[in-house]
Structure 1
Amino acid sequence: MTLKLRSAAVTDCGLVRSANQDSVHAGEWLVAVADGMGGMAAGDLASAIAIEAIAGLDVALGDEQLAEALREAVATASERIRAAVTEDPTREGMGTTLTALLCSATGTAVALVHVGDSRAYLLRGGVLEQMTKDDTFVQMLVDEGVITAEQAMTHPRRAVVTRALQGEPVTAAYGSMAPYPGDRWLLCSDGLSNVVPADVIGEVLTGYPDPQACARRLVELALDGGGPDNVTVVIADIVEGA
C-alpha cells in the first residue's frame, strides 16, 4: 500500500490588509505555507521566493532523501531572499515564515520543516495536535511561564516573530514521522490560528471530509472573526494511492 497526499488550499487577503503576502503550495507530495513579513519591504516577494524554492520537492523522493531535500530548499530560499535584497536595498527587512510537509514516494515517511509562526496541525484518530512551535515573542513568554497560551492569543505583541527566513543563516525546526491512512494535516498562516480557537479548528477538520470544503470553511471562520490578517489554509489528507 502506497500513501500520498490529497491536498487543497484556500488563501484570502482578509478584511483589513490591502494585499495578500501569503504564498502556498498544495501538491501530491508536498504542501507548504509561507507568510511574508515586511509590509512595503516586499513580504509578498519573500513568501513567493520561499514557496518557489521548495515547490520543486513535489516529486517522488525516498524516505532517506526527505530531510536533506528540505534543508537544501530552505538554504536556497534564504540565498534567493538575500539576493533580492542585494538587488534592491529598499527590500531590507523583508522575510517570510515557512512551514512545509513532504511525503515520501513510498508513503512510509513524512518530514516537516518549520520556521516562524505559521503552523502545522495533525488530526489523527480524532485527536488534534499542534506539530510546530511558534517562533514568537509571546511563545517565549509562554515557555517562561509569564503568560498562558490563552493570554498569548490576545497579547499586543503576538505578531512579533523571533525567527524567519530573511536572507541570513537560520535554524529551522525539522521533524519526521510515519504517516497513517486517515491522517489529516492542516498547515496555516497565523491569520487562522490567531483568530480561530484550536477546538473550533478541530471540529471543522473532523466535520468536513472534503479537503477543499474544509479549507474554505476555516477561512470563512477567520473572516467571520474579523479577518485582521491574510489567512491561508492547506488541508492534506494521507490517502492510499496507486
Structure 2
Amino acid sequence: MNVAIRYAAGSDIGCNRENNEDSGYAGARLIAVADGMGGYAGGEVASSTVIGSLRSLDADAPYDDLEETLGRAVAEANEKLRIVREERPDLSRMGTTLTAMLWTGTAVALAHIGDSRGYLLRDGELFQITQDHTMDELLKQEAEQAGGGPAPDPAEASRLSHVLYRVLDGREDREPDLRLREGRPGDRYLLCSDGLSGVVDAQTIYEVLVAEADPQRAVERLIGLARDGGGPDNITGVIADVVEAEQLTESGPPLVVGAAAQTHT
C-alpha cells in the first residue's frame, strides 16, 4: 500500500520570551521540530540552521536506507553548526534539539536528540515515541539498570528536567536516537518543542488529537492551550496524518515556521 501524509505546522513566541528560538518544518516526506538555545540570536541561528540543512531531504525521490540517510543528514547539519560557531564566536554556546521523521512509502525513519518530543496516536491510544535526553531521565535509567533505588528528590528532579545531556551544537559525537517505523493509514504523529509538551499534559494532547480531525486546527488548539497555561517558552508543533496516497489529491507547499521562517527565502 502506498501512503502519504497530510501535514500542518505552527509556532508561537509564547508569553514570556522576546524572540522565537524554535523552528519547524512540514513537507510531503519530512517533518521536523528544533528547539534552539544559547541566548539571544544563538538559539534562532541553531534551530534555523539545522532545519534549513535538513529540508533538502524533502525531495520526490525514494531512499534506499532511510535511517542511514536521515542520520547522515543530521550529522551534516551538526557540521554546519560547527562552522557557524567557528565563524561566530559570540554564538559558541548555541545548540538545538531535533526531532525529525522522513518517509518513503510506509517506511518512516525517526531521528531524535534533546527534549522536543514525538507522539503517535494509533488505534485510539497515544504513545510517546521519543525519550527526553535530560539529566533526570538519564538518572532514572541508571537507577532502573542498577535494580532500583531511592526515589529522587522532586525539587532536584524538576531542576534536572531542564538540563540536557545531548543536543546538536557542532561538537563531535552528537548522535541522535535513530529508528525505523512503519507508517499506517490512520496514524497521527505530533512533533513538538517542550514549550508545548511541558505545559499541556499528555491526556489533553490526546483529547485534542482525537477531537480535531483537521491537522492545522489541532496544531492551533494545542498552541493556544500552551499559551493559556502561561506560555513560558516558545511553542512549536507539527502534525502529520498518514493516509492512503489515493486520498490525498494535493499535498500543498512545504511549511516552514518559527525562526527558520525568518531566514527561509
Tell me which residue corresponds to 2:6: 6
Tell me which residue corresponds to 1:131: 129
Tell me which residue corresponds to 2:74: 74
Contact 1:10-1:234 at 8 Å conserved across structures: yes
Q: Which residue identity lines up with residue 224 of structure 1 in the other structure? A: D
Contact 2:19-2:40 at 8 Å conserved across structures: no
Contact 2:31-2:238 at 8 Å conserved across structures: yes
Tell me which residue corresponds to 1:122: 120
1:186 to 183, 190, 193: 190
Following TM superposition, by how much is the alpha carbon of 1:44 offset from its aligned partner in structure 2, in angstroms?
0.6
Contact 1:141-1:147 at 8 Å conserved across structures: no
1:210 to 196, 209, 214: 214
Alignment partners' CA distance in 2, 1:5 and 1:12: 23
- Note the residue ranges of structure 2 that are not aligned, 5 or more in a row: 247-265
TM-score of the pair, normalised by structure 2? 0.85
Following TM superposition, by how much is the alpha carbon of 1:2 offset from its aligned partner in structure 2, in angstroms?
1.5
Q: How many residue pairs are counted as aligned between the two chains? A: 238
The C-alpha deviation readout for 1:150-170, integer Å capped at 9, x for no partner, is x59x81332211100000121
2:205 to 193, 201, 208: 201
SS at match of 2:65: helix
Q: Which residue identity lines up with residue 73 of structure 1 in the other structure? A: A
Distance change (3 Å), C-alpha of 1:185 and 1:134: same
TM-score of the pair, normalised by structure 1? 0.93
Alignment partners' CA distance in 1, 2:162 and 2:41: 17
Contact 2:226-2:235 at 8 Å conserved across structures: yes
Tell me which residue corresponds to 2:22: 22
1:171 to 175, 178, 182: 175
Contact 1:41-1:92 at 8 Å conserved across structures: no
Work out whether 1:112 is the aligned partner of 2:115. no
Distance change (3 Å), C-alpha of 1:165 and 1:133: same
- Give the 4+ runs in structure 1 shifted more than 6 A: none
Q: Which residue identity lines up with residue 107 of structure 2 in the other structure? A: A
SS at match of 2:160: coil
Following TM superposition, by how much is the alpha carbon of 1:226 offset from its aligned partner in structure 2, in angstroms?
0.3
Alignment partners' CA distance in 1, 2:35 and 2:48: 9
Following TM superposition, by how much is the alpha carbon of 1:64 offset from its aligned partner in structure 2, in angstroms?
2.8
Q: Which residue identity lines up with residue 71 of structure 1 in the other structure? A: G
Alignment partners' CA distance in 2, 1:177 and 1:114: 13
Following TM superposition, by how much is the alpha carbon of 1:142 offset from its aligned partner in structure 2, in angstroms?
3.2
SS at match of 1:162: coil
1:149-160 alignment to 2 at 5 Å? Answer: 155-160=158-163
- Note the residue ranges of structure 1 that are not aligned, 5 or more in a row: none
Structure number, greater radius of gyration: 2
1:213-224 alignment to 2 at 5 Å? Answer: 213-224=217-228
Following TM superposition, by how much is the alpha carbon of 1:147 offset from its aligned partner in structure 2, in angstroms?
5.1
